[in-house]
Amino acid sequence: MPEMFFSVPPAFVMLFGALILPLVPKNLRSAGFIVFPAATLVLLWSLPDGLTIRTDFMRYTLILCKVDSLSRIFGAIFAIVAVAGGLYAYHIKETGQQVAALFYGGSAIGIAFAGDYLTLLVYWELMAVSSVYLVWARRTREAETAGMRYLFVHIFGGSLLLAGILLHTAESGSTIIARLPSGASVSSWLILTGVAINAAIPPLHAWLVDAYPKATVTGAVFMSAFTTKSAVYVLARVFPGWEILIVFGVIMALYGVVYAVLANDIREILAYHIISQVGYMVAGVGIGTEMALNGTTAHAFSHILYKALLFMGAGVVLQTTGKSKLTELGGLAAAMPLTLALYMVGAFSISGFPLFNGFISKSMVVSAAGEAHYANAMLLLNLAAVGTFLHTGLKLPYFTWFAENRGLKPEKPPITMLIGMGIVAFLCTMFGVAPKLLYDHLPYPVSYVPYTIPHLVETTYLLIFTFIGFWVLRSKLAGEPTIALDADWFYRRPARLFKKYLVASVANVFDRSDQLSLSFVAQLSKFVSNPTGHIQHLLLSSKQKEKLNKYDPEQSRPLMQFLIGVVLMSFVFVLLFTLIR
């Protein structure tokens, strides 16, 4: 029995749950939505290190599950946030969203345990298809168009990944996932580009800030956790030590906080900060040392928790007020103090406050940069941390809960939403207070100590001066009721031209061709009905035509003997032609 238990890949539990959930009685589906991720967590944590589950496919061996410390820690956090997200979304009774979320989470876990590229690709595409439903499920025009753009981008990214995998397989004769040497071949760059799209590396990132704010309240929580972090896992598995990723990572860390200045939607601000925080992880992969990869893994784990908590808090605001713009919010602190308190746990965590999990993970990546003598990267990553506290820790909560009261009267949120937030907030605090609980499960032995006097003093200075700067400039940081175009300019602004010349013009050509075809068939049908009469009519002089009051094909129809004569003459000609040959 235990052997049979260990022969099941963890992802299959959630995928099986997604398939049978519609068959479960309706009043039990929300509970099942939590049970399947919980069972997945128990299974993956019980799997022995080194376990490999294989199967043959054509002439290749697929590794459906390969267990090591890296796959286990990523799989575990994906399952944990799926459980917490299921509780947060307990009030949702739409089976479609529940099924999509289970497929989505199961695919992310499948990626974490995949041992070959073909298995990874299947989960990669399933993740894209299932996640887009969480955007469309909001059922607004904006969600429909954003979801379509999201899907097209991920189809393109998946195509690049597939092309890279096919080339890599042709070159190496193997589909096994392994570390690739830096700049090795075209196939490696194609795989990297396909993964970079899911990691939201600029300028391939606009899909994230376009779609996440348009998703459903609960769907955005799952989306904040799975897509970008599963891409970080693949980067850590395949591309450690690629120094180009240090450059991309630093750009991401700064890019996200800069563009958050322009954002007005609270979930868009959080989406930009996903890009910024993932930048730390990408930079850690690029550094490639054991400490850097530990930092990447720890920060991905921490980020999934606090970012889910932040989206949960923003979701409660949207759920209870129907508003998500800073220019429409304000004065909500007295009406929703618990939501504010739980949100601030996530804000303190992402900002790197001591005693919260962001402090014990982000600083590891920064220290790894310094240890590897990337002084510029270290400086810029510290600078990005200032921007994170400025926007997520100060701007967003201030203008949402403390600024001008706009007379909003929020409804009471479902208690399960607050319980879900409470569980995640507890985990953010627990790992911050006791980092060893996380450090003991990282891929490499950890010698890093986050709570040192110099580190605490440095962090305190950064936080205090950032707060002072915000307070002085807070009137300049308020949201503006505008849409700030990012790299999506390239497919938003030219959209009318593309529609006019590549859609409307082509449609007009087909419409005109259709009209001409119908007209030709009508004329041909009319001619075939009485060809000799029509010919005679065409041969008449204009004066003769003027004498005809109205053309009547019946009057011009030839006599039967004329038709018989034509047929006989045809036979004669055919016979003569045959005899001559």
pLDDT digit string, tens, across residues 56-80: 887 888 999 999 999 999 999 999 9
Name 32's Cβ contacts closer than 8 Å, sequence gap at least 6: 17, 21, 24
Q: Are the beta carbons of 128 and 154 closer than 8 angstroms?
A: yes
Q: Are the beta carbons of 114 and 120 closer than 8 angstroms?
A: yes
Residue 295: what pLDDT? 96
- Rounded mean pLDDT of 531-548? 59
One-letter amino acid for residue 558 of the chain: P
Residue 21: what pLDDT? 95
Q: Are the beta carbons of 297 and 443 closer than 8 angstroms?
A: yes
Question: How many angstroms separate the Cα of 374 from the Cα of each of 287, 369, 458?
Answer: 8, 5, 19
Distance CA 73, CA 49 (A): 12
Q: Is residue 491 pLDDT above 70, yes or no?
A: no
Name 495's Cβ contacts closer than 8 Å, sequence gap at least 6: none
Q: Report which of 142, 151, 129, 134 is spatially closest to residue 92, judged by C-alpha positions.
A: 134
pLDDT digit string, tens, across residues 273-302: 999 999 999 999 999 999 999 999 999 999
Q: Are the beta carbons of 300 and 229 closer than 8 angstroms?
A: yes
Distance CA 98, CA 112 (A): 21
* Average pLDDT of every residue of the chain: 88
List residues bridging with 63 in a β-sheet.
54
- Rounded mean pLDDT of 16-27? 93
Residue 549: what pLDDT? 46
Q: Would you place residue 473 in the very low, low, confident or very high pLDDT band (cuts 50, 70, 90)?
A: confident
Q: Are the beta carbons of 278 and 199 closer than 8 angstroms?
A: yes
pLDDT digit string, tens, across residues 192-224: 999 999 999 998 888 999 999 999 999 999 999
Q: Is residue 557 pLDDT above 80, yes or no?
A: no
Length of the chain equals: 581
Q: Are the beta carbons of 13 and 69 closer than 8 angstroms?
A: no
Name 393's Cβ contacts closer than 8 Å, sequence gap at least 6: 344, 347, 348, 350, 351
- Rounded mean pLDDT of 112-137? 96
pTM of the model: 0.83
pLDDT digit string, tens, across residues 384-438: 988 888 888 889 999 999 988 888 889 999 999 999 999 999 999 999 999 999 9
Q: Is residue 460 pLDDT above 70, yes or no?
A: yes
Q: Is residue 184 pLDDT above 90, yes or no?
A: no
Q: Are the beta carbons of 287 and 353 closer than 8 angstroms?
A: no
| Percent of the residues in the chain that have a pLDDT greater than 70, as a whole number | 88
Q: Is residue 474 pLDDT above 90, yes or no?
A: no
Distance CA 249, CA 228 (A): 13
N-term to C-term CA, the chain: 87
Q: Which two tokens stand for residue 222?
A: 């799952």
Q: Is residue 477 pLDDT above 60, yes or no?
A: yes
Pairwise pLDDT comparison (535 vs 436), residue with the higher score? 436
Name 399's Cβ contacts closer than 8 Å, sequence gap at least 6: 326, 329, 330, 478, 479
Q: Which two tokens stand for residue 78?
A: 């994906």
The residue behind tokens 């399933």 is: 126
Q: Which two tokens stand for residue 217?
A: 């309240």
Question: How many angstroms separate the Cα of 305 from the Cα of each of 88, 227, 475?
Answer: 13, 14, 31
Could you tell me the residue ranges of all domains in the chain? 1-238, 240-484
> How many Cα atoms occupy the beta-carbon half-sphere of 97 within 13 Å?
25
Q: Are the beta carbons of 274 and 224 closer than 8 angstroms?
A: yes
Distance CA 296, CA 85 (A): 23
Pairwise pLDDT comparison (571 vs 498), residue with the higher score? 571
| Percent of the residues in the chain that have a pLDDT greater than 90, as a whole number | 65
Q: Would you place residue 1 in the very low, low, confident or very high pLDDT band (cuts 50, 70, 90)?
A: very low
Pairwise pLDDT comparison (255 vs 184), residue with the higher score? 255
Distance CA 107, CA 7 (A): 18
Q: Which two tokens stand for residue 244?
A: 């180009």
pLDDT digit string, tens, across residues 87-114: 999 999 899 999 999 999 999 999 999 9
